[in-house]
């Protein structure tokens, strides 16, 4: 290989890596989808904690889940940037009628949460419930690039995972020009 060919390949590789990093970190289309299944490691989602408030990593009929037995139970979701909304589909199973709320952190203190009650079907079968979260008023941990979420329950519930779609306005030429003109 000649020196010119090696240089062209190096420039193309560096350009590709920079474009990929831009795409992954700035989310130019404005949508980030995260799928998290209990029992599988994720670079986006931390483990649920504290461990004494749940029975972790049970498997039944091919489904791995945590049984929440006390409240609250916390976890973080890492996103490369802040977003405006998140639509979260939570896969759960409940044997009897219970109240389950899903919340998100609104300030730097751990107790600063806003909760919304989830619709729960108490028949012992796996179901999915959905909640939409307005992230604009929530606390985004800028140091670690995370949102913190929580479950509160007054009974036992199995959680097998969730999927979340985080959204913000896409990056457009109009938005870039407005930003550069000082109209942030």
Model confidence over 139-180: pLDDT tens digits? Answer: 999 999 999 999 999 999 999 999 999 998 887 778 677 778
3-state secondary structure 97-130: CCCEEEEEECCCCCCCEEEEECCCCCCCCCEEEE
- Per the prediction, the chain carries an average pLDDT of 89
Mean pLDDT in residue range 100-116: 91
Confidence of residue 88 (pLDDT cuts 50, 70, 90): very high
Task: Considering only residues 28 and 35, tell me which one the structure prediction assigns the higher pLDDT.
Answer: 35
Residue 131 has pLDDT above 60, yes or no: yes
- The one-character DSSP state at 136 is G
What pLDDT shows up at residue 133?
94
Domains within the chain, CATH numbers bracketed: 31-168 (2.60.120.260)
Mean pLDDT in residue range 82-97: 96
Confidence of residue 118 (pLDDT cuts 50, 70, 90): very high
Confidence of residue 115 (pLDDT cuts 50, 70, 90): very high
**Chain mean position to CA 164:** 6
Identity of the highest mean pLDDT range in 39-48, 102-111, 163-172: 39-48
Phi-psi region of 111 (alpha: psi -120 to 50; beta: other; left: phi over 0): alpha
What pLDDT shows up at residue 22?
56
What pLDDT shows up at residue 2?
79
What pLDDT shows up at residue 20?
58
Confidence of residue 87 (pLDDT cuts 50, 70, 90): very high
What pLDDT shows up at residue 114?
93
Query: Which of 7-11, 63-67, 69-73 has the weakest average pLDDT?
Result: 7-11
Please name every residue paired with 133 in a beta bridge, in sequence order, or none if there are none. Answer: 86
Tokens of 175: 């938005």
């Amino acid at each position: 290989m000649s020196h010119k060919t090696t240089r062209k390949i190096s420039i193309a590789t560096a350009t590709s890596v920079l474009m990929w990093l831009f795409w992954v970190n700035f989310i130019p289309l404005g949508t980030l989808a995260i799928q998290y299944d209990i029992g599988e490691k994720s670079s986006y989602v931390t483990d649920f904690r504290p461990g004494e408030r749940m029975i972790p990593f049970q498997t039944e009929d091919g489904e791995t889940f945590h049984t929440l037995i006390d409240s609250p139970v916390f976890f973080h979701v890492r996103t490369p940037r802040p977003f405006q909304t998140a639509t979260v589909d939570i896969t759960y199973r409940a044997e009897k009628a219970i109240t389950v709320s899903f919340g998100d952190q609104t300030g730097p203190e751990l107790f600063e949460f806003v909760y919304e009650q989830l619709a729960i079907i108490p028949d012992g079968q796996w179901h999915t419930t959905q909640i939409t979260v307005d992230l604009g008023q929530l606390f985004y941990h800028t140091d670690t690039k995370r949102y913190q979420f929580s479950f509160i329950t007054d009974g036992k519930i199995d959680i097998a995972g969730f999927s979340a779609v985080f959204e913000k306005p896409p990056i457009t030429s109009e938005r870039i020009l407005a930003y550069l003109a000082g109209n942030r």
